[in-house]
Amino acid sequence: MSLAKRLAEYEKPKIGGTCTTCTAINETNDEDRAALVAAMDDPRISNAGLARILREEGFHVGESALRRHRKGECKGL
């Protein structure tokens, strides 16, 4: 199969389970939710740094879950 055909047929990966990033967003108050969404939209904030902050706040969110969420590849979107 050619590269062009494979790219044309690409489908977004389907990740199983609940998105832990979506869970964190849904479990925060309005102020924290707005700050979290803004932080995820800010390319200067790394996935590792954001995951560390969320874990310190009691959320079980890993770097890979944040990366998938930011790329729009999580199950919750």
Please, are residues 24 and 74 in contact by the beta-carbon 8 Å criterion?
no
76/2: higher pLDDT: 2
Tens of pLDDT, residue by residue over 5-16, are 988 998 776 656
| pLDDT score recorded for residue 32 | 95
Q: From CA 56, how far away is CA 2, in angstroms rounded?
A: 46
Model confidence, pTM:
0.72
What are the angstrom distances between the C-alpha of 36 and each of 22, 23, 56, 63, 77? 11, 12, 14, 14, 16
Tens of pLDDT, residue by residue over 16-56, are 668 899 999 999 999 999 999 999 999 999 999 999 999 99
| pLDDT score recorded for residue 62 | 92
CA 16 to chain centre: 14
